[in-house]
Amino acid sequence: MEVSNVRPDAPVTRGPSRVGMIGLGRMGAAIASRLIDRGHPLLLHDVRAEAMVPLVARGACAVGSAAEAMDVDVLITMVPDDRAVAAVWLDSDLVRRLPSATVHVCMASISYEMGNTLAEVHAQATRRYVAAPLFGRPFLAERGELDVIAAGDADAIASCRPVLDSIGRRVFEVGSIPAHANLVKIARNFLVANVIESLGEAFGLCAKGGLDKARFLEVLLDTSLAAPAYRYYGEYCVARSRETLLPMRLGLKDVELAVVAAEALDAHLPTAALIAEQMRAAISEGWGDRDWAALAEWVGERSARSSDHAAVPKHPLPIGARDPFR
């Protein structure tokens, strides 16, 4: 089946924003689907022509290059990582070819350094740029229930709000420095990784004592830790689910972004390095295509194999040093 590269017959001056999309992976395709549902005229570009076919069938228009997708009100970049972003935006003169009225919105999960670099090259070219990374899974994108973190020039954010509001249940504006949105994404994903790691350790501890982890989770979710993250990842681990929404190899990338950001900002983030090491070990044992939530299961199983890790010296807390909030 051929993919059309015909543009809309006439520009839209009122009503829904004209949107261009570069990158149609699982999340990008889900966002595009939602934007079509909301009536936004859509130009698409992906290096895989087959990724555009279902969306073209629903009324979107495919083009043969990223440059051809730029004659829009809002241009979204949703590619996998720093390398892909650099290939599109830094290894060419694409920024300077961006129409001055177009707002480029980068939703990709990129490093703090890349976030700063993108903002700098757009500023040098006097082009409009907003960083807007996302929280959520593709099925939430299709329902318009993502959480969007936006940062950049206030006027630029206002110009793209109709598009952001189409895909998000809420848009959090975190200031005028675009890379701050990337930092929020990185720090929040780091916290989620901590939840997964700590659940695995806690489940492993309970298992070593003969306590059923489902009973432990029941207690956990009916006390002060009854938060959505503990519920979702705890239930995933207890059920030993095989559903994969974010492969662990990609989850490792998110944790490594925290490690790199900490180095760039001279911050101390020891648990990020630990979790990255745990993920690499799990991946080396064939868990790379499992959801990153499965790290909790892997950690719990490893805990049951005492010979797999060195003994930790015992240094009990002195009397009076106990946590009063436990």
- Residues 12-32 have pLDDT tens digits of 334 689 999 999 999 999 999
The Cα 42–Cα 35 span in angstroms is 8
- DSSP-based three-state secondary structure for 256: helix
Beta bridge partners of 324: none
Mean pLDDT of all residues in 299-304: 84
- DSSP-based three-state secondary structure for 74: strand
Q: Which amino acid is at 236?
A: Y
Give the confidence band of 306 by pLDDT, cuts at 50, 70, 90. low
Report the pLDDT value the prediction gives residue 131, as an integer from 0 to 100. Answer: 98
Identify the CA nearest to 35 among candidates 167, 151, 231: 167
With a cut of 90, say whether residue 316 has pLDDT above it: no
Alpha-carbon torsion, ordered 161, 86, 135, 132, to 10 deg = -20
Mean pLDDT of all residues in 182-202: 97
Half-sphere exposure of 257 (CA within 13 A, CB side): 29
DSSP 130-162: EE--EES-HHHHHTT-EEEEEEE-HHHHHHHHH
Q: What pLDDT, in 10s, does the model give residues 119-172?
A: 999 999 999 999 999 999 999 999 999 999 999 999 999 999 999 999 999 999
The Cα 179–Cα 305 span in angstroms is 42
Mean pLDDT of all residues in 40-57: 97
The Cα 113–Cα 134 span in angstroms is 18
With a cut of 50, say whether residue 83 has pLDDT above it: yes
Beta bridge partners of 170: 147
With a cut of 70, say whether residue 323 has pLDDT above it: no
Q: What pLDDT, in 10s, does the model give residues 229-269?
A: 999 999 998 998 888 888 999 999 999 999 999 999 999 99
Mean pLDDT of all residues in 64-84: 97
Report the pLDDT value the prediction gives residue 245, as an integer from 0 to 100. Answer: 85
Give residues with Cβ within 8 angstroms of 228, minimum separation 6: none
Left, alpha or beta for 246 (phi > 0: left; psi -120 to 50: alpha)? beta
Beta strands in the chain (DSSP E): 19-22, 42-45, 61-62, 74-77, 103-106, 128-131, 134-135, 146-152, 168-173
Distance of CA 95 to the CA centre of its chain: 23
Report the pLDDT value the prediction gives residue 301, as an integer from 0 to 100. Answer: 87
CB 65 within 8 A of CB 45: yes
Report the pLDDT value the prediction gives residue 15, as an integer from 0 to 100. Answer: 66
What amino acid positions are annotated as catalytic residues?
Answer: 185
Q: Which amino acid is at 227?
A: A
- What single DSSP character describes residue 307? G
Half-sphere exposure of 20 (CA within 13 A, CB side): 27
Give the confidence band of 95 by pLDDT, cuts at 50, 70, 90. very high
Beta strands in 115-267 (DSSP E): 128-131, 134-135, 146-152, 168-173
